[in-house]
Homo-oligomer: A and B are copies of this chain.
Amino acid sequence: MNNDSTLVSSERRGLMLVLSSPSGAGKTTIVKELIRRDPDLITSTSFTTRPQRPTEVDGEDYFFIKEQEFLRHVENHEFLEHAKVFGNYYGTPKETVFQHLKQGKDVVFDIDWQGTQQISSQARDDLVTIFILPPSIDILEARLRGRNQDSAEIVKLRMDSALSEMSHWPEYNYVVVNRSLDESVETVHSILIAERHRRKRQTQLADFVNNMRLNNHS
């Protein structure tokens, strides 16, 4: 009898964990806390055409590239998703993410419904999508209002944008109402742990069970 039938955690394919929400729902804080807690969960470094800020490190915060190069990557279908925001391009490199998945790492994405739809079309089986909702409209408005320095018009525009983003919750696998940060981080982490144990993601299970049968000498 030997130890061939020992299953280690790298013997599974990683997954892509997408979190979307209207701004003000607390998603970014949840993602940060999640990465702090779980060493197998990583973010992927995006490409951008936005100018590099003095505090930013190329290849760490972003890969800073020229627009011409970015558009060539788009043309070659090298992005899982990409978007233009305030005149600058942002994109998630496909090959890097797939390498992480092969090594059994899970990659988390903090993106909107448009990015989620783009990724969905390229990676259905590896994808787990979660939508974060605010607990009430009052709390959402309070968060978007900020320090009361903004005009009523700006607050209204932010609310319209948040409600528009929010209308996409039915496209997601899971929905978490963010009542408390701790509870929501626990819930999202539970979803991650559960999805890691889906039969279809544990690619080595057939070998694991077959080895048990072969090693049975009773």
Contacts and interface: CB of A to CB of B under 8 A. Distances in A.
Q: Which of A1, A6, A190 has the most CB of B within 10 A?
A: A190
Stoichiometry (number of copies) = 2
Given A174-B199, A177-B7, A163 B216 contact: yes
A137 B1 contact: yes
Contacts of A155: 218
A3 interface: yes
Given A190-B193, A194-B194, 5 more contacts: A7-B177, A170-B206, A172-B199, A175-B205, A190-B194
16 contacts: A3-B136, A133-B208, A136-B215, A156-B218, A170-B199, A173-B198, A174-B197, A174-B198, A175-B205, A176-B197, A186-B193, A187-B194, A189-B190, A190-B193, A190-B194, A194-B194
A52 to B, nearest CB: 36
B1 A212 contact: no
